[in-house]
């Protein structure tokens, strides 16, 4: 066992990968997560297998979470955020604020009695963040909870068979001292409403890739929001919020071409008669095995080069998509019953705040910058490293590899300094 | 043998199992089975509290065989085996029934799910009764790593291992380290030059006491297994023999021009991307400055990660250095790498013109000029005629010529597009099928430099994790060959994907290398003489399971 400790900020798949790599090498890890569970964005995504696995990698997330659970070297600090950091490599002092969960994860067995009784409408205030959550325990959402909104409700705390609920908790300060820090705070999904002309939020049957992930992972399939029927004619629009300098996102998000094609195949697997069109600029088909998958996609999916600029709703089931038809050399209009906007990855809204607390630099588009473009984990502050999508777009396997790389750089840096 | 006392521990998994399986009913029925001494239902068996309780139950009740009915053993199999061990039993006296993923999560009908779970648990009970002890041992392993290939990736691997205090021998077949990068005029992202990248790494390689870099060297022979490989290395006329705990392949790739695919030959102002690199690198070679240059790719390798960055940066260099007209023709730009979209925008702003084609353009040579006929998709498929002084074409990425010899020496396989095949691209992206041999960089995937360096770091730390303690735990004789039955037909040897079988000609039998064996079971399945036995998956155990169904 080595006598060194590391703070990993952000419990998405990248932070998890960093923590695991450090822990197996004997390091003490404090894994700090803002939400009530680790796992990050991809915890809520769906398996995109058809008759064969299509290698979307989403199943790696529960796999890695299970490894964290079995790893005594990792201390989980959920509901927590960093308030202040001082010191230097080998001797950082960190002050965290842990918001109360109001449910003691040590006592909660996730029996679910509380949620059944919770009277809050339409959303229950006490919930299990995910069936794969870690800690595997319920949490209370203060915004929905009657108790915290002027009503005298104590039902859950009275009825919990394990006495796990306690409303009288206030935020706690936690002080840690660590040798190094890895930042893995992840990304925000592009807000499709910023592209007003595509009608997201206004037209019922315009959804985003994120909506698809959620719907498939909770319901296992997708229907038209307007009528509940199976979609017949679906359009995917690529690069929504990516590759667009005008909105400050002059980069490719790297994930949306792949998830769009996998979703398209999945849709056709469930409804073989569904017609699918993908509107794109350039298809990102590199990566082991993906070229072969793309060749299969071409057999049943129509690919049209060009990004539509406008969608109008003729009726809830009829969306008119206007695009430039290069083949005919004119503007074309076509009707679809469902349009999916392939939204991409953007920097976290609060990344400048984190950058200020830690004294690290932001790059051109607002992701955390690294020193040398070819060492992609070291920041300008010695002993502080970045991992995963907070450094720029990456898919799940790349976020895992980057997380492990950051961990290995921590081990090397501390060894070189004799810490 | 002592009296068999089986303990069955069932998990309700936060109610996700008990919701669709009637565990109380199952317990009542299990308690009536022969040899079952205890049946217990618990919450979240993976929690430390529950594990403590199981341990106590095992000890207090003198349980000597354990069945756990819970989630997939993929998730907690190891942890559960550790638990059994902590209770003083051999870790192989455990059988796990997956009643979560294989039952409760997928069968909403409670009656049917309960029936199925009961069958699954009974199978485990009948199997565990016959299971055998497998002892574990600790063996010493070498803390040295052999890195094959001295390109940028091989150097990075050696440097990182050296930083982690492991010794490496780095062998490079050329006279100099550096690989492909030596040939490049520039790099993307453009902030670093290839020289800077190489110089900084060369300095670290030569400055490190932990790294022995051998150039003009190659692997001649390899024997042994993970933790204990013996490599014969040829350097000039010399032959060096060394022992290693792990091996990392960083042999990169070669590029080839395929005239059959293109329908024309090189020469007369048609050159490959690699040739262009050379020209830009030593400007003396450029006799006449080209007024117009065309780049074409996506013809022999549509999904390459390399064509786009190399074309974009070279287009920029040509535009800036010579002010030539530059055209780029391709199907798709692969801009899914750090900084590539930005580079594309910069190149466009500098006046480079892009044509994205669906059908392959026609290339005609006329009076020293090259005319390219291409459909312009932005102009209603109008045919456009471009005239260039120089045409640069992509090459296909292919394995090294000596790939085949390395492959047979190391006994590892090739996957799609002829890159080395990982054991599991998802879960172990840098591991080969053979324990202790790892891949880094472009020998197993088509990677740009940023990704290749991340990969290098991962391969190094995987090897570190495996051998850095100088010891490995191994299961002793988990799989055994019965010498009386073995007919030396060599079937198992051919089928084993992990190269874990050796033939002992003196004793006239095959035998299994404990360290290399990954327990996949293929050998036992293919052996025509039924000479191979898995102590925890033997034929009689499987038959006992099938009896239940
Ligand atoms: C619509 C969509 C579909 C996708 N589909 C796929 C797919 O099919 N396959 C694939 O490989 N990839 C896919 N991706 C990409 C994938 O989501 C990412 O690669 C992956 O989630 C990145 O992991 P991460 O750990 O970097 O970030 P995140 O998953 O964002 O995790 C970051 C974590 O840090 C926490 N955090 C943030 N700020 C703080 C703070 N200040 N303090 C403490 N904690 C903090 C967050 O709560 C979060 O848990 C998709 C992405 C999108 C948008
Ligand atoms: C034309 C071209 C342009 C590129 N441009 C870019 C770019 O702009 N940006 C970018 O990010 N990436 C670019 N790349 C990709 C980049 O070159 C690779 O990511 C990187 O060079 C891979 O390094 P490597 O060490 O894996 O392979 P290599 O550089 O090929 O090194 C492999 C080394 O192993 C040695 N070797 C092979 N077999 C044996 C053996 N049996 N025994 C001993 N030694 C052996 C070889 O001699 C060689 O030195 C480009 C690639 C090409 C082909
Ligand atoms: S990689 Fe994706 S498609 Fe394949 S099994 Fe995992 S989640 Fe499903
Ligand atoms: S991955 Fe595809 S859809 Fe996403 S930004 Fe890149 S090119 Fe556009």
Judged by DSSP in three states, A90 sits in: coil
Quick one: A175 and A33 in the same domain? Answer: yes
Confidence check: pLDDT of B380 > 70: no
Q: Hunting for tokens 């079995």 — which residue is that?
A: A70
A407 touches chain B (CB under 8 A): yes
Binary contact (A284, B335; C-beta < 8 A): yes
pLDDT over 90 for what percent of chain A?
Answer: 89
Q: What is the pLDDT of residue B187?
A: 83
B138 assigned to some structural domain: no
Reported as half-sphere exposure (CB side, CA atoms, 13 A), residue B4 has a value of 19
Interface touch B377/A401, C-beta < 8 Å: no
**Domains: count for chain A:** 2
Given the CA of residue A48, which atom of ligand 3 is nearest to it? 3
Owning domain of residue A385:
5-99+171-186+348-416
Q: Is A327 on the interface with B (CB under 8 A)?
A: yes
Is residue A285 a part of any domain in this protein? yes
Residues of A numbered 249-288 whose beta carbons fall under 8 angstroms of chain B's beta carbons: which are they? 250-252, 254, 257, 282-288
Predicted local confidence at residue A374, as pLDDT: 66
- Closest-CA residue of A relative to B156 is A375
With a 6 Å cutoff on the Cβ, whether B336 touches ligand 4 is yes
Number of domains in chain B: 4
Q: Indicate whether A232 and A243 sit together in one domain.
A: yes
Task: Select the residue of A25, A288, A405 nearest B425 (Cβ to Cβ).
Answer: A288
Name the pTM for this structure: 0.93
A236 and A306 both lie in a single domain: yes
Which of B372, B394, B416 terminates a domain? The answer is B394
Same domain, B462 and B415: yes
Residues B199-234 have pLDDT tens digits of 999 999 999 999 999 999 999 999 999 999 999 999
**pLDDT, position B1:** 55
DSSP A25-36: TT-EEEEE-SSS
Candidate from B292-296, B418-422, B525-529 with smallest mean pLDDT = B418-422
Domain hosting B290: range is 256-394
Residue A373 Cα to ligand 2 midpoint, Å, equals 18
A111–chain B nearest CA distance, Å: 6
Which of A39, A45, A51, A55, when mutated, tests ligand 3's pocket best, judged by the most ligand atoms within 8 Å of its CB?
A: A55
Token pair, residue A284, equals 């990102």
Contacts of B123 (CB under 8 A, 6+ apart): B97, B545, B548, B549
- Tell me: do B212 and B311 sit in the same domain: no
Nearest to A6 by CA among A72, A95, A67, A94: A94
pLDDT average, residue stretch A176-186 = 98
* Interchain contact, A251 vs B46, CB within 8 Å: no
Q: Please report, for the domain that includes residue B528, its CATH number.
A: 3.30.70.20
Whether residues B416 and B481 share a domain: the answer is no
ipTM entry: 0.94
Query: A273 and A357, same structural domain?
Result: no
- Looking at residue A131, what is its pLDDT? 87
The answer to whether residues A213 and A328 belong to one domain is yes
Q: Domain for residue A198, yes or no?
A: yes
- Residue B136 domain-assigned? no
**Same structural domain for residues A296 and A231?**
yes
Question: What's the CATH code of the domain at B112?
Answer: 3.40.50
User: Any residues with Cβ below 6 Å from ligand 1, and which?
Assistant: A 9-15, 32-35, 40-42, 45, 56-58, 81, 184-187, 189, 209-210, 213, 255, 259, 343, 345, 348, 354, 388-389, 394-396, 399
* pLDDT tier at A330, thresholds 50, 70, 90: confident
User: Does B109 lie in the same domain as B56?
Assistant: yes
Instruction: Check which CATH number belongs to the domain holding B341 and give it.
Output: 3.50.50.60
Same domain, B211 and B199: yes
Q: Choose the final residue of a domain: A345, A377, A395.
A: A345
Give pLDDT tens digits for A265-324. Answer: 999 999 999 999 999 999 999 998 899 999 999 999 999 999 998 999 999 999 999 998
CATH of the domain at A33: 3.50.50.60
Look at residue B506 and tell me if it is in a domain: yes
Q: Is the pLDDT of residue B414 over 90?
A: no
Flag whether B139 is in a domain. Answer: no
Q: How many CB pairs under 8 A join A and B?
A: 162
Whether the per-residue pLDDT at A325 is higher than 60: the answer is yes
DSSP string, B249-318: E----EEE--HHHHTS-SBTTEEEHHHHHHHHHSGGG--S--SEEEEE-SSS-TT-SSHHHHHHHHHHHH
With a CB-CB cutoff of 8 Å, which residues 191-210 of chain A face chain B?
none
Confidence of residue B43 (pLDDT cuts 50, 70, 90): confident
- H helix or E strand, kind and range, residue B372: strand B369-376
**A40 C-alpha to ligand 1 centroid (Å):** 5
Residues B196 and B271 in one domain: no
The CB of B273 under 6 Å from ligand 2? The reply is yes
Residue A137 lies in a domain: no
The continuous run of DSSP H or E covering B494 comes out as helix B491-495
In a domain, A217, yes or no: yes
Q: Which of A345, A365, A392 finishes a domain?
A: A345
Residue B535 lies in a domain: yes
Cα A94 to Cα A85: distance, rounded to the nearest angstrom: 5
Does A58 sit in the ligand 3 pocket, CB within 6 Å? yes
Residue A60 alpha carbon, nearest atom of ligand 3 = 6
- Beta strand pairing call for B437-439 and A302-305: unpaired
Could you tell me if residue A156 is inside a domain? Answer: no
Query: Which residues is A5 bridged to in the sheet?
Result: A28
- Token representation of residue A181: 């820090």
A302 shares a domain with A202: yes
| Those residues with Cβ within 8 angstroms of residue A7's Cβ, 6 or more apart along the chain or in another chain | A30, A32, A92, A94, A176, A178, A180, A181, A182
- The verdict on residue B50 lying in a domain is yes
End-of-domain residue from the set A324, A345, A366: A345
Residues A384 and A305 in one domain: no
A342 in ligand 4 pocket by Cβ < 6 Å?
yes
Residues of A in contact with B359 (CB under 8 A): none
Whether A358 and A269 share a structural domain: no
What is the average per-residue pLDDT within A104-126?
91
Q: Are residues A241 and A272 in the same domain?
A: yes
A116 touches chain B (CB under 8 A): no
| Whether residue B44 is found in the same domain as residue B126 | yes
- Select from B151, B271, B305 the residue to mutate for testing ligand 2; criterion: most ligand atoms less than 8 Å from CB: B151
pLDDT, tens digit, 9 for 90 and up, residues A280-294: 999 999 998 899 999
């Amino acid at each position: 066992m080595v006598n060194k400790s590391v703070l990993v900020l952000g419990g998405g798949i990248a932070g998890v990968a960093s923590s695991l790599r450090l822990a197996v090498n004997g390091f003490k890890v404090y894994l700090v997560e803002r939400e009530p569970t680790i796992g990050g964005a991809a915890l809520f995504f769906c398996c995109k297998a058809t008759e064969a696995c299509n290698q979307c990698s989403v199943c790696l997330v529960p796999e890695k979470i299970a490894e964290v659970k079995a790893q005594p070297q990792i201390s989980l600090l959920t509901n927590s955020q960093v308030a202040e950091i001082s010191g230097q490599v080998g001797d950082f002092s960190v002050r965290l604020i842990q918001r109360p969960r109001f449910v003691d994860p040590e006592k909660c067995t996730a029996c679910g009695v509380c949620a059944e009784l919770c009277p809050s409408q339409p959303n229950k205030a006490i919930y299990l963040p995910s069936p794969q959550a870690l800690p595997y325990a319920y949490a209370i959402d203060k915004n929905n909870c009657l108790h915290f909104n002027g009503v005298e409700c104590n039902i859950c705390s009275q009825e919990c068979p394990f006495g796990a609920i306690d409303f009288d908790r206030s935020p706690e300060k936690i002080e840690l001292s660590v040798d190094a820090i890895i930042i893995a705070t992840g990304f925000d999904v592009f807000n499709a409403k910023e592209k007003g002309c595509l009608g997201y939020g206004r037209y019922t049957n315009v959804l985003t890739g994120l909506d698809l992930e959620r719907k498939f992972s909770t319901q296992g399939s997708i229907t038209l929001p307007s009528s509940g029927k199976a979609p017949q004619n679906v359009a995917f629009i690529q690069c929504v919020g990516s590759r667009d300098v005008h909105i400050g996102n002059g980069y490719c998000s790297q994930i949306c071409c792949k998830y769009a094609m996998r979703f398209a195949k999945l849709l056709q697997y469930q409804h073989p008669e569904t017609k699918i069109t993908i509107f794109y600029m350039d298809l990102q088909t590199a990566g082991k095995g993906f070229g072969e998958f793309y060749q299969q996609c071409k057999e049943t999916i129509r690919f049209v080069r060009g990004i539509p600029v406008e969608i109008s709703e003729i009726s809830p089931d009829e969306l008119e998509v206007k695009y430039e038809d290069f083949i005919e050399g004119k503007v074309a209009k076509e009707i679809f019953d469902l349009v999916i906007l392939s939204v991409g990855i953007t920097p976290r809204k609060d990344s400048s705040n984190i950058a200020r607390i830690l004294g690290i630099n932001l790059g051109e588009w607002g992701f955390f910058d690294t020193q040398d473009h070819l060492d992609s984990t070291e920041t300008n502050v010695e002993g502080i490293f970045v991992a995963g999508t907070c450094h720029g777009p990456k898919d799940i396997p790349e976020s895992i590899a980057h997380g492990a790389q950051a961990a290995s750089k921590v081990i090397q840096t501390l060894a070189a300094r004799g810490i | 043998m002592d009296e068999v006392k089986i303990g069955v521990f069932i998990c309700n998994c936060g109610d996700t199992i008990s919701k669709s399986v009637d565990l109380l009913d199952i317990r009542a029925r299990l308690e009536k089975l022969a040899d079952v001494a205890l049946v217990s239902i618990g919450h979240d068996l993976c929690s430390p509290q529950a594990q403590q309780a199981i341990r106590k139950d095992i000890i207090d009740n003198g349980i000597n065989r354990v069945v756990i009915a819970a989630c997939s053993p993929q998730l907690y199999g190891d942890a559960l085996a550790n638990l059994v061990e902590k209770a003083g039993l051999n870790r192989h006296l455990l059988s796990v029934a997956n009643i979560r993923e294989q039952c409760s999560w997928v069968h909403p009908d409670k009656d049917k799910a309960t029936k199925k779970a009961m069958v699954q648990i009974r199978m485990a009970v009948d199997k565990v009764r016959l299971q055998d002890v497998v002892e574990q041992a600790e063996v010493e392993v070498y803390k040295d790593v052999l890195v094959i290939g001295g390109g940028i990736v091989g150097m990075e691997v050696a440097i990182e291992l050296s930083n982690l205090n492991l010794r490496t021998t780095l062998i490079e077949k050329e006279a100099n380290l550096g690989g492909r990068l030596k040939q490049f005029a520039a790099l993307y992202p453009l902030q670093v030059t290839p020289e800077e990248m190489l110089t900084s790494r060369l300095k670290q390689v030569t400055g490190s006491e932990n790294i022995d870099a051998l150039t003009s060297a190659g692997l001649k022979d390899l024997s042994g297994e993970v933790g204990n490989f013996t490599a014969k290395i040829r350097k000039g006329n010399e032959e060096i023999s060394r022992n290693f705990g792990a091996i990392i392949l960083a042999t990169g790739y070669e590029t080839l021009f395929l005239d059959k695919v293109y329908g024309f030959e090189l020469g007369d102002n048609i050159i490959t991307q690699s040739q262009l690199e050379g020209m830009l690198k030593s400007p003396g070679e450029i006799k006449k400055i080209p007024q117009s240059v065309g780049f074409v790719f996506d013809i022999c390798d549509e999904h390459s990660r390399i064509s786009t960055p190399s074309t974009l940066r070279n287009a920029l260099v040509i535009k800036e250095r010579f002010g030539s007209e530059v055209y780029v023709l391709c199907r798709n730009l692969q801009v899914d790498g750090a900084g590539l979209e930005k580079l594309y925008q910069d190149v466009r702003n500098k006046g480079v013109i892009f044509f994205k084609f669906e059908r392959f353009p026609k290339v005609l040579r006329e009076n020293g000029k090259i005319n390219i006929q291409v459909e312009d998709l932005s102009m209603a498929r109008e045919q456009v005629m471009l005239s260039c002084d120089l045409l640069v074409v992509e090459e296909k990425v292919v394995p090294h010529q000596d790939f085949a010899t390395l492959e047979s020496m190391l006994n590892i396989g090739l996957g799609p597009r002829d890159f080395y095949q990982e054991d599991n691209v998802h879960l172990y992206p840098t591991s080969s099928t053979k324990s202790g041999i790892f891949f880094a960089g472009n020998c197993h995937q088509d990677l740009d430099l940023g990704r290749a360096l991340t990969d290098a770091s991962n391969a190094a730390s995987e090897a570190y994790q495996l051998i850095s303690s100088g010891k490995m735990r191994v299961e002793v004789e988990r799989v055994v060959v019965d010498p009386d039955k073995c007919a030396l037909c060599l079937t198992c040897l051919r089928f084993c994907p992990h190269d874990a079988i050796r033939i002992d000609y003196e004793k006239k039998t095959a035998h299994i290398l404990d360290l290399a064996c990954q327990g996949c079971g293929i050998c036992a399945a293919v052996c025509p003489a039924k000479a191979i036995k898995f102590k925890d998956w033997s034929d009689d155990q499987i038959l006992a399971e099938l009896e239940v169904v």
